[in-house]
Amino acid sequence: MTPVNVLTGFLGSGKTTLLRHILADPAFAGCAVLINEFGEVGLDHHLLQAVDEDVVLMQSGCICCTIRGDLGRAIRGLYDRREAGIIPAFGRLIVETTGLADPIPVLATVMSEPVIRHHFRLGNVIATVDAVNGLAQLDRQPEAAKQAAVADRILVTKTDLAAPEAVAALEARLRAINPAVPLWRSANAPPPAEELVGSDAFDPATKPAEIRRWFDLARETDAGHHHGHDVNRHGPDIGAFVLEVEDRVDWTVFGLWLTLLLHSRGDDVLRVKGLLRVAGVDTPVVVQGAQHIVHAPSHLDAWPDADRRSRLVFITRGIGRAGIERSFAAFQAAFAETAPVVA
């Protein structure tokens, strides 16, 4: 049966970076990847070469899809395409969950849905944890604690940005949540892919009683399917939206605005990620940030489609689209550091 690895971790903890590291290893070429993004617009699929409407073929030879609905349906669809010869054969499936995902329903789907478990088996669960924001996320977000609790491998990322005592405190907390899990530290060089996904390790029977109870509850709720759920909402105060800008953006003004926004409301800006059309630059600039951290921008060789607008996906707590739009418009108009950050 085809092994399924689940890659989880809270928003901005480095899941996509780790996924690209894994798929760059020749030993893992030919994997299939399912990316489950929270919100109305994803970004990663823009970086890939389309095969058909739903499936993209990565340069490494891996098949990659964005989950547009039910996870079980997406896995069955991949299997049917493979059997029909529509897509190349794959020997492993990696599911990258959204950073806000409770991983239990994902795992329960793989282990419990009759058709899927006849052709797939659960490999292991890898969780990324942000060394800078990880402790606060474990306190504030129950999903982050669950992600760490069920993991068979944990990679503590951004250790170069956190104080050594903060990293040690985070690791102690992770040990308390999941005492037996192997831990790795990563600044910019993750461990070899083989150490993370090369061997199966997940066994619910070996997990603590609380985790086994989570699985029982997921099975009782139709293997974790949440019909009628708004994919752009997560609880009463967390939502996703897209900031779109028609005109070219002044890079200095944008950088000041985003820096001040994250400085003042970073705890509530869980994720920002997108493509920016910068004045004087022909190709798009990839912008990423999470809470109080803005990552160094990167440049794409070309626009992925005909749309040349700047598109930034925000996942926020208690901050609406209108406030962000007013703030950015005011800052652009004023061209001053004293412009309001959030209206």
Q: What tens digit of pLDDT does each residue of 126-164 get?
A: 999 999 999 999 988 888 988 998 888 999 999 999 999
Which DSSP helix (H) or strand (E) runs through 285?
strand 285-290
CA distances from 198 to 130, 161, 195 (A): 23, 29, 6
Q: Specify the pLDDT at position 54.
A: 53
Look at residue 340 and tell me whether its pLDDT is greater than 80.
Answer: no
Q: Which residue has the tokens 């994902």?
A: 106
Do 142 and 169 form a contact (C-beta atoms < 8 A)? no
Q: Specify the pLDDT at position 51.
A: 37
pTM, full prediction: 0.71
Look at residue 42 and tell me whether its pLDDT is greater than 60.
Answer: no
Do 4 and 93 form a contact (C-beta atoms < 8 A)? yes
For residues 217 and 171, the model is more confident at 171
For residues 29 and 257, the model is more confident at 257
CA distances from 10 to 7, 48, 234, 248, 256 (A): 11, 23, 13, 31, 26
Which DSSP helix (H) or strand (E) runs through 293?
strand 293-294
The gap from C-alpha 267 to its chain's centroid, in whole angstroms, comes to 18
Strands of the sheet containing 55-57, edge to edge, are 49-50, 55-57, 63-66, 32-35, 93-96, 2-9, 120-130, 153-157, 183-185
Q: By mean pLDDT, which of 46-60, 88-102, 282-296 is the weakest? A: 46-60
Averaged pLDDT for residues 224-249: 63
Q: By mean pLDDT, which of 1-10, 44-53, 193-202 is the weakest? A: 44-53
Q: Specify the pLDDT at position 70.
A: 79
CA distances from 247 to 276, 313, 320, 331 (A): 10, 17, 22, 14
Look at residue 203 and tell me whether its pLDDT is greater than 60.
Answer: no
CA distances from 332 to 159, 288, 326, 337 (A): 34, 20, 10, 10
Q: Where are the beta strands (DSSP E) in 30-162?
A: 32-35, 49-50, 55-57, 63-66, 93-96, 120-130, 153-157
Look at residue 319 and tell me whether its pLDDT is greater than 70.
Answer: yes
Cβ–Cβ contacts within 10 Å for residue 47, how many? 16
Look at residue 224 and tell me whether its pLDDT is greater than 60.
Answer: no
Do 273 and 258 form a contact (C-beta atoms < 8 A)? no
